[in-house]
Amino acid sequence: MIQDLVVYLLFIGYAIGFMLGLATLFTWVERKQSAVMADRIGANRCYIRIPFTNVRLVAWGLFHGIADGAKMLLKENFTPHTYDRFCYNLAPWLAAAPVLLVFSVVPFGGTVTPGRLLPQLHAFFGERSYLMQVASLDAGILVVLSLSGIGILGTMLAGWSSNNKFSLLGAARAASQMISYEVAMGLALISLVVTYGTLDLNGMVTRQSGLLLGFLPAWGIFMQPLAFLLFLTAAIAENKRVPFDLPECESELVAGYFTEYTAMKMGLFMLSEFIEIVVVSALLVTMFLGGYNLPYLSAGGFVLPGGASWALPHLAVVLLQVGTFAAKVILAGCFQIQVRWSLPRFRYDQLMGFGWKFLLPLAALNLVVTACVRWWTL
C-alpha cells in the first residue's frame, strides 16, 4: 500500500512539474519562435550575472520566464471598485485549476514495474506494476470535457466581477465561443470513441500501439484525420488563442476578460493559457499521435516490420516512452505556437459561423461515417 502512495506521489509530482515546466518553457518558445519566424532576435535582455565576475549568463533569454514570474509576484495588486470581491478573487483560480486537473487522466508513459527498473528497488516494490497516469479513470474523455467546461466559469466570473465594459464583453465572447466550440470538439471526440471503443485514455493509447497496413503506426491521426483537424481547431478555440482570440483581442477589448487583473492574478490567467497549450498538446498526442508509443517499440524492445527485433531493458523502455511523450507534447505545442503567429484573427461573426456552420456539420458527418464504418466492420 505504501508502495502505491510513493508511486502516485511521484506521478503527481511529475505531472505538475511537467505542466508548469513546459508552460514556462512555452512562454520562452513563443517569444523565440515568433522572433525567428519574423527575422528577429527575440527576448534576450534578461541575464544572471555570475557573482564577483562580469560574466553575464544570457542563456538565449531563458531567464525571461523567471523575470516575468518575479515581476508578477512583486507588482502592485490592484483591485478595481467591484462589488463582488469574492468572485473577482475566485476567477483566476477557477480558470487555472481545471486546466491543471485535466492532465491527471492523461497517460504519460506505458506500464511501469518499479521492481524491474533497478535491482535495488525489487525488494521494496516486488512485481507490482502501474500505469503511468495519475488517475486511470474509465471515463477519461468525459473528465476532460467536463473539466474544460468548468474553465468557462472562470472567464465568465472574471469578466463579470471586474465591473468593466471590456471585461464583460470579453467574458461574453469567451463564453459563447467556448461553448460553441465545445460542441464540435465533443462530436469529434465521440467519433474517436466510436473508433477505439473506449473512453479510457490509456486504453486509447494502447489501441494505437499496433500497426496499420503493416507499416503505418495505428495512430488516431491516420485512423481519424478529420477528427484530428476538428479537435485541433476546437481545442485552439477553447484555449482562446489566435486565430480565435476574440475574448482578449487587444485592438478591441484591451485585454478582454482579465483587463482589470494585475500581478499574479493576471499571471494565473496567462499561466493557465500556457498550461492549456501543454494540456491540449498532451490530449492531441494521447488521442491522435499515439501517446507515449514510439513506432515499433513494444514492452520488450523494438520489433521492426521486417521481423528483426532488438530487446531493451525495462528501464530503457520506460524512459523511451516518457521521453517520447514529452517530445511529442513539445512538438505539438510548437505547432500551436506556429499557428498562433501565422494566422490572422477571425472576425466575430466569422468565428461563430465557422464553429456552427462548418465545424459542427463536419463533426456530425464524421461521426455518422465513423459509426457506419464501425457498424459495417463489426
Which residue ranges make up the site for another protein (CB under 8 A)? 33, 35-41, 44, 229, 338-339, 341-343, 358
**Sheet bearing 301-303, strands edge to edge:** 297-298, 301-303, 309-311
Q: Which CB atom, from 122 or from 345, has the smaller least distance to another protein? A: 345
Is 316 in contact with 299 (CB distance < 8 Å)?
no
Helix ranges, the chain (H): 2-37, 64-74, 85-102, 114-117, 122-125, 140-161, 165-196, 201-207, 220-223, 225-238, 250-253, 263-288, 314-340, 348-353, 360-377
Nearer to another protein, 146 or 342 (CB): 342
User: How deeply is 120 buried, as exposed, middle or buried, from its count of CB atoms within 10 A (0-12, 13-18, 19+)?
Assistant: exposed
User: From the CB of 30, what's the least distance to another protein, in Å?
Assistant: 13
Residue 322 C-beta: closest distance to another protein, Å:
26
Under a CB-based contact definition with an 8 Å cutoff, are residues 37 and 341 in contact?
Answer: yes
Residue with cell string 468548468:
150
Peptide bond into 243 cis (omega under 30): yes
* Shortest separation between residue 46's beta carbon and another protein, angstroms: 13
- Report residue 306: phi and psi, to 5°: -70, -15
Question: Which residue has 460542441 as its cell numbers?
Answer: 183
Residue 18: CB minimum distance to another protein, A = 25
Q: Of the two residues 33 and 321, which places its CB atom closer to another protein in the complex?
A: 33
* Single-letter amino acid, residue 45: R
| 3-class DSSP state of 112 | strand
Nearer to another protein, 39 or 76 (CB): 39
In order, the DSSP letters of 191-259 are: HHHHHHT-S-HHHHHHHTTSEETTTEE--HHHH-HHHHHHHHHHHHHHTT-TTS-GGG-HHHHTTGGGT
Grid cell at residue 340: 498562433
Nearer to another protein, 257 or 288 (CB): 288
Report the DSSP pairing between strands 48-49 and 130-131: unpaired
Nearer to another protein, 334 or 371 (CB): 334
Name the residue nearer to another protein (CB basis): 179 or 343: 343
Q: Return the number of the residue (202 or 233) whose C-beta is nearest another protein.
A: 233
Q: Could you tell me the smallest distance in angstroms from the CB atom of residue 342 to another protein?
A: 4
Cβ proximity to another protein, 330 vs 339, nearer residue: 339
Please report, as a single letter, which amino acid is at residue 151.
G
Residues 6+ apart with CB under 8 A from 194: 367, 370, 371, 374
Nearer Cβ to another protein (199/232)? 232
| Residue type, position 263, single letter | A
Rounded to a whole number of angstroms, the minimum distance from the CB of residue 76 to another protein is 21
Give least dist CB 217 to another protein, A. 22
**Nearest distance in Å: CB 232, another protein:** 10
**Shortest Cβ 39–another protein spacing (Å):** 4
In one-letter notation, the amino acid at residue 329 is: V
Least distance from another protein to the Cβ atom of residue 37, Å: 5
